[in-house]
Structure 1
Amino acid sequence: MEVRYAVLGPLTASAGDTEIDLGPAKQRAVLALLLLNANRPVSATAIVDTVWADDPPENGANVVQKHIAGLRRALEPDRSPRSPSTVLTLDGAGYRLHVPSGALDTDTFDSAVRAARAHVAANDFAAAASGLRGALRLWRGEALAGLGGRVFETERRRLDDARGAAWELLAEAELALGLHASLGAELVRVIEEFPAREELRCALLLAFYRQGRQAEALTAFREARDYLNDEFGVEPGERLQDLHRRILRSDPTLGPVVETAAVPVPPSSPAPPAVPSPPPAVAPFIAAAQQPDFTRKSWVMALLAGGTSLVTAGVFAWAIVGALGLIRRSLVHTFAGIVYGALTLTMWILADSELISGENEPFNSWDTVLVVGLIVPLFVGTGHAALLALFPRNRPGIQGDAGLGPEALREARRQQARQILTFRPDIAVELGIGRPDLFRWFDDGGLVDINAVPEGLMVTLPGVTATMARNLAVERARGGPFNGLHDLVARGALQPHRAYPLGQLLVFGGVRAAAYEAEVRTALPQG
C-alpha cells in the first residue's frame, strides 16, 4: 500500500490504517530531512551535518547507511533484501525519497491554501472556507515536533508562518460569508499563537464589531497596540489603526455586505436626501421596532392603574406613579409621584382651611391653587399612571416591540449604552449605565458594571455563586479595576466557562476612560 507521511505535528508514516514504526530518534530525523527534500537527492554529508550537527560521528557515512537500511525495512516490509528499493534510492547525488503527489501532508496543505486563494480571488468564499478548514485540520500540533537543529527549526518557522497565513485567509473568507459570530472565539485562541499577525487582529476587531461588541473590539485594539509597543517598540500598522478609527465612528460600511436589487429611479424624480445611517449593530433593531405592539397584559395594567386613579379622583395617582417609578428605579417617575402627592396633600389642607372663599365670595388665588391641586392629580396623574403601566419599560431610541423578542430589544439597548460608555464615559456615569443598584432613567438593557456594582449584585449574574462573587470583589479591591473579560480570566477572578458567557451583560466602566476620550477626540470630526 502507498505510504503516507505527516510532519504537521510529530513525524508519522502510515500504510492504510497502520502506523509504521520508524525506529530510533536519529533514524526518524533522517527521514524528516529526506521528506523536507522529497524527490530530491540529499548527500550523506548533508544528512550528517543536519542530524548530528553538534556531535557528528567518526564514521558518519556508515551510520547514515545503517539508518537508511532501517528506513527501507520499515517503509518496504515486503521487499526482498536483495532486490533494489523503489522508495528510498541512492544515486551519485545522494539519497532520494520518492514521495507520490498527495502523500505528504505539507503538500496537501500547500495545495489547499493555493486553491483557497484562487477561490477568494473569484469571490467563491464558501469553497475557500471549506478548503481551508480541511487544510487546517491536518495540523496535529507543532510541526516536526521533537526534532531539533537549525534546519528543522527554520522549516518549523516556515510552516507556522504558512499556517498563520491560512488562518488570515480563512478569517477573510468567513467574514465575507457573515460567520463573524463563530469566528470571533476562534480568533482569540489563534491570536495567542500568532500575536504579531496584524491581519488576524483586524479580523478579530471586525468580528467583534459585527456582533455588536464594539467595546470589546476597542479593547482588542488596545491589547494589540500594547503588545506591539512592548515587544517591538512600534505602533500598529495603518490598516489596523484605520479599522480602529472606523469602529470609533461606527462606520456603517463595516457591517456585513447585503446585496439588494437596484431599483431604477425616473430621471425626473429628484434624489431623496441622504439620511445618516445608525451603527450597524443597532440599525436592525431600530428598523424593526417602528410600530408599537402592546400585549394584553400591558393594556390590563394600564386600565387598572388609570381606573384606580380616576375612581379616586386622582387621590391615589401619586401612589401608583411613585410605586411604578420605584419598581423601575426611575428617578424621574418617582419624583413625579412625589409631586402628585404634594399637590394632593396641598388640596386637602386648603379644602380644610379658611383660605378658600365661600359660595358668595369672590374667587381668590387660593381657589386657583385648589383647582390645580384637583385637576393635575386627576387628569395628568391618571394619564401618567396609565401610560407608565402600558409601557413595560422606558426605551430610549426604540419604540415598541414589533416582532422583536425581549432579548433582542435588551441587546439593542445594551449596544446604545456601550456606545455611550465608549464615547462619553462621563455621561455614562451620570446615566448610571451598568448600575442596576442605582436610580436611573436610562434603560441600559440590564448591563452590569463589574468595576462598580456591590458584591451582592454580582450574585445575580448567571452562573455566579456567592463564593465567586466574593472572589470578584476581593480581586477587584486588591488588583484594581478589571480591564475586560480576558482580564477577569487572567487574574483568576472567574473561570473561562463562567466569564465568557457574561460578555453580553458585563461592562467595565472606570477603566481607561481618559484614553477612550482622547481616542474619540482624535478620531471624530471636530464640532
Structure 2
Amino acid sequence: MTSSGPPGTRDSGPAAGTTRSWPAGWWYLPLTILTAGLAAWVPFLHAGVVLGSARLRWAAAAYGAVLAGLFVCASTAPVDAQGTAVGTAGTVLPTIAGTGWLVLIPVACAHQWAVRRRVARGRGGAPEPGLSRALAARSRRTTARRLAESDPLLARDLRIGRPDLARDYDDGGLVDLNNAPAATIARLCEIPLPAAEDIVGARRDSGFSSVDELLVTVALPVSAWDRIRDRGLTLSA
C-alpha cells in the first residue's frame, strides 16, 4: 500500500492523493485576533487588491486610521512619575482607547467574514447554482426588454414574452402583458388566475402602453407589483 502523504499518515476515502487547499482569506480572522486588532487593516488591503476594489482599500485605510487614533489616545494620556493617571484626560483617554479596541476587534472580524466570502468567489469559488441561474435569467430579461424597446417587430418575431408559443429565443422569463393568455401571465407573474384575467379584460380595447399604466388601471395586489415589473413588458397587440 502506498501513501502520498507525510510519514505516519494514511490515505483514506475517495479524495486520497488529492491536495487540499485552504479557502481564500482563511487567515483574515486569525490574524486580527492574534495581533489583538493591530493588523485588522491588512485583510481589507489584501481583499481590495485581489478584488480590485477601491472601497475595500479605503476600508483598510479607515481601520488603520482608527487604530492610529486609539494608539494616540493610549500613549498620550498624562500620567505622573509613578504612572498614575493625571486629570480628566488621564482617565478618559485610556478608557476611550480600551473601549475602542474591544469594539474594533469583533466589528473587524464580522466585516472580514463577509469580505472573505467575496474573495473566495472572486478567486474561483463557485457561487450557489440557484443564484447563478437567477442572475443569468435576470440578465437575459434585461437584454430581451431592451431589444423589445428598440425593435418591437423583431421582438414579436422572436416571440419575446410569449412562452405559450413555440420559439427558440430565451428571454429569461418575460411575459407580454398585452398578448399572452391569462394562464401564462398568472404563472410567470405569480398572481392568482382571476387577477390575470382582469389584466386580459382591461387590455382588450387598446392594450397597455407600459407596465406602470397596467398597475394603475387594474386593481392588483401591491405585493405583486415588483414581480410584474420584473417579468412584464407591453408589446403592441
TM-score (norm 1): 0.20
Structure of higher CA gyration radius: 1
Q: Indicate the structure whose relative CO is greater, using CA pairs within 8 Å and at least 6 residues apart.
A: 2
